[in-house]
Chains A and B, each alone.
Chain A
């Protein structure tokens, strides 16, 4: 019964279908692993043991009845930003510490219908605002490769796969820093219904998995039109697994000039160049591409995202749900203290930045200006995709940093997102795949493609993973 945790979703599914393991056995094993590592990593906010075992029994019954399906009985975890009916959804905040959603997020509903078993809800930066998972009301998450270091902006924990969200890099950055695969789909590809809103023009649900193949299997179950999300696109969902093995011959890769700049750790650059050699041997050609406005993506993001956050988080008023302060003097005091006490420091900072850039006299100078620069960045990407099929660069400028190293200065923390934000601003899909180590810490290679090019991204990532085993490495003590 040992060793199952190292398996991909595809491998687990095969074992479940041939009957060499049951979903109840697997679920029990993962629950035990969560209990074993929770103290050291703090990866979970809630573990939904009873519900998980019930779901696993139901999955086993479906399998016994001869039903087939890639996710039946496979244990997964959800980031605690996805609403789950009857279970707590905290978004890492005191504001929602006791919130039980009356409904399921579309993503949760679809994965449950596909037979996946929910183990629990993973820890995260409060309201998904952060690049280190240190701002959670429930304590920081630690990196399994070195518990003194941060895991990045969300966590897959010990589950074989987890849902996640990406507003400025919150899937790809932790994927890179923890040595797993992280897919942020095209804006509108995955329903945002029931996903607690941070910045609605940037937020997108996606996945943290061991392999690109697993991301393909899970995305197929999650993606698709949802009339309850007004930004959900009405496009058919392709068979993401069908094109995975396609040869890379003729693939044109653009090397993002702006990503190989002075801020990049030279050892990380070397790992990316090694990975590019592998892709070249597979038949891909490389050329340099420049996106001149890309260096402005961080300042653009830190206007647009806080502006949308200040508007979205106005709903937390201490009246209808969420935290309420003790003994309010009057209604204004109730609003101010409920919000002042219910939100953590980083969330308050972003609400204030957003309030400021939207306030009378500053709206044109900051908010509209940022949306204009965003249009320039988006046009840069569109031009690049006339020349190349995908763009490749590092996911992060450094490997995982130590806890507390960047909490003193928000701007230093924000610059971690320098390579990931561009795809969010332009609504593009992007994937981070493990491509080696620097001083024992994982490094991620980022592949960005045109809108709705998920099949191509997964194909490139999968072919790379067929030729490398970085994504199968486990931290010492977690094998």
Chain B
């Protein structure tokens, strides 16, 4: 069956609302489930192509997906409606949580749990980076560049804005000469 894009802004809004509401632990799997499997708005290969673009662009990947697809289907109003739908419920939820937490943050046991969750979140970043790094396994120059970025930013605490131009130049040279 051919995928059919949403017929109205309201349908678009409800779809993204349901993505946002269910997306505990990561938005993209739910974006795929809702748009590709449940509502059949977009074909799987098409979705993968949009995702590749959104991962390349700056900004939150899931937010970019909502803007790019909202625009494709309904222009500017579609981009705004999709983005707003995606963010609405998580935003209410997160403010509720933080206000609740403000009442309990003096409690050392609560603080210990929340700190543990935050540190595990840091670990998730590192696990994600390891997955991203798989293509670098046989590329010593790539590993050296990644390690230098880490040393300068995490340990040296140098601003990203100072590091980025240098890193981008080195990355480009390495990629151009097939070193990464």
- Same complex for A and B? Answer no
Q: Which positions in A face B, CB cutoff 8 Å?
A: none
Q: Which positions in B face A, CB cutoff 8 Å?
A: none
